[in-house]
Structure 1
């Protein structure tokens, strides 16, 4: 009897720590909302990305200082990993739970153990990312919200820690290979989740061809907002599916104030466009953004003159993925181009420095203070799927660095990986 009670308790405990990806899917343009509106329904869910990698070439620029590696790759996961280093690693493990309270109310929770940055061999022993003080991996609460389904026809209201409209609800879904790499806006630290109130809506509930997503949130992701910060992050996008739902269009924008004093108006404002053509055999996608960081730099155009200047980042991502053999073998190829500040030229690059007091949590330039480093990222690989829930993907990860107006020669990071992606409880 005691054994039965123990097993029952363990089962309930696991259920209360689990989250269903299908709940997230219902909020995208591809989800089937009505299929989940069953009071009392819950779903145990999770997945993991794991690799064996070998770094065959490392960028030689950069140095350790202040407990962190200052390299041209910034916070990219292989920045600072030494040449010819190999390792087994996990980059993401999910565990969560969703529960349907009634016909109109649902809850979702997600625990995440994700990759840790700047802890390569030879680096200072400073915990970072999701590591505990003793250096072990840990889970943190990534999603926790309640959804009011159909608060009005075709629109859900969501309150709590939730996915933002930036990429998780659409562009990441269509890219389909988050297990290989983030989308281009995700790499540049646009928040994928935040705490606030949002609307996920469909303009045409019957055909589900046109919709929108809006969110007002703290801008602090999983961290409690500081009492000294009273600004909110505003997110929004509109999307359309045309040509019998094969052509996908998405327009996204966000705005956030970092610092706002009588003498310094410092803010972030992104505009992002996305277009993809998708079929069961082949998908082609193009995503690009312009991100304006107002008064983000100090400019010295002439001797003795000092003024604030905008930093305007640009990125373009192009990818192709498709099927080689139905449900068993596929491929993917992607290339990103990133310019952290189009206002910088070879002639004026020495006149720009960072604004004093720039303490933004989501600083768009992933390579820190190096606004003159242009990056070209490439990944490609094969997706072998022995069963639906398991993907085995040999792939290459390459990032090329060009420092404008600087004698530092071009160089790159090159990593060869065997990635394992598996899904459970789905």
Structure 2
């Protein structure tokens, strides 16, 4: 894997020197963390440093209508074991701007579920969006998609995708996933209705939808989302996963921002027990509280001390308390 990464970097360097058309960018974020309390007693007082994400991105124009992107991601294991940051391909797609208002994508590409909420939340360096954290969907898909605007003003936008339903992996089951997001964006408001249908495996399928409302200005972002997923199993018990979330952030000084978020899991979630970096109990409803400050040392360097508190409805489960000093660097 290291040889592959070195060859990739060498190839990109030669391409830039030869053709001069590529653009390299990247980011990195991680934390020093301390677990003050946890429902799993084995994790109490655990602490350390880790990188939760490192991006290395190469974009290149292929003529007037075509562009391509290759993005590698690396991160330390999130299961509290020692391990290296292993790289993998996060994005690899061809973009075709076949119309002034419409684009076509093919490859490993962003999924429609997370476009708007990631922009409104704005603090992926602190925590995933709720749908990603609670595993109602993957932020990547292998397949094809169309994105664009239904009006010249850009107020009404769409994003539709069709793919393997295997995140960044190749096909493992013949079932597929179809997803559609419709957005209404009259500044400063943002409204989104989203839905998808996917076959998870033989005899198991899932339908997901959400409604999202947001408000954003240069100094203030607010949002609320409700999302539900219904899983139907032919030879098993059907189940539903639901949550709602409210969040916000604002500028309080030239280089100082504050942010907060509340997520409410309305059912116990069997998928979150092995969550990287924030493992949750699978037997109880729960409420997640996130709060912190964002200190902009420069436009590219930020420190974001924060606290994550998870309180469970089930008696006998201790709360989870994570104290973190998060750093975020872009280039």
In 1: Cα distance, 2:301 partner to 2:106 partner: 33
What SS does structure 1 have at the residue aligned with 2:166? coil
1:321 aligns with 2:249: yes
In 2: Cα distance, 1:271 partner to 1:180 partner: 25
Q: Is the 8 A contact 1:188 1:364 kept in 2?
A: no
1:173 aligns with 2:119: yes
Q: 2:161 aligns with which of 215, 223, 226?
A: 215
Q: 1:310 aligns with which of 238, 254, 261?
A: 238
1:17 to partner: Cα distance: 9.7
Q: For each residue in 1:363-394, what CA deviation from the matched residue of structure 2 results, as whole angstroms up to 9, or x when unmatched?
A: 97324897641121111001000110011111
Closer/same/farther in 2, CA of residues 335 and 324 from structure 1, 3 Å limit: same
Q: 2:266 aligns with which of 336, 339, 350?
A: 339
Closer/same/farther in 2, CA of residues 173 and 323 from structure 1, 3 Å limit: same
5+ residue gaps in structure 2? Answer: 1-6, 275-279
5+ residue gaps in structure 1? Answer: 1-8, 19-38, 62-79, 126-134, 299-307, 342-362
Closer/same/farther in 2, CA of residues 16 and 292 from structure 1, 3 Å limit: farther
Q: 2:78 aligns with which of 90, 105, 117?
A: 117
What SS does structure 2 have at the residue aligned with 1:373? coil
Aligned 1:52-71 pairs, distance under 5 A: 52-60=32-40
- The answer for the alignment partner of 1:188 in structure 2 is 134
TM-score by length of 1: 0.69
In 1: Cα distance, 2:76 partner to 2:285 partner: 24
Closer/same/farther in 2, CA of residues 16 and 94 from structure 1, 3 Å limit: farther
1:170 to partner: Cα distance: 1.6
Closer/same/farther in 2, CA of residues 312 and 10 from structure 1, 3 Å limit: closer
Aligned 1:24-103 pairs, distance under 5 A: 41-60=21-40, 82-103=43-64
- The answer for the alignment partner of 1:201 in structure 2 is 148
Q: How many residues align?
A: 317
Name which of structure 1's ranges 282-291 and 39-48 shifts more when overlaid on structure 2: 39-48
In 1: Cα distance, 2:219 partner to 2:321 partner: 29
Closer/same/farther in 2, CA of residues 367 and 16 from structure 1, 3 Å limit: farther
TM-score by length of 2: 0.88
Q: Is the 8 A contact 2:39 2:281 kept in 1?
A: no
Q: 1:138 aligns with which of 86, 91, 95?
A: 86
1:277 aligns with 2:224: no
- The answer for the alignment partner of 1:376 in structure 2 is 287
Q: Is the 8 A contact 1:17 1:97 kept in 2?
A: no
In 1: Cα distance, 2:14 partner to 2:183 partner: 34
Q: Which has the higher strand share?
A: 2
- The answer for the alignment partner of 2:176 in structure 1 is 232
Root-mean-square deviation (CA, aligned residues, Å) is 2.6
Q: Is the 8 A contact 1:17 1:111 kept in 2?
A: no
In 1: Cα distance, 2:200 partner to 2:164 partner: 12
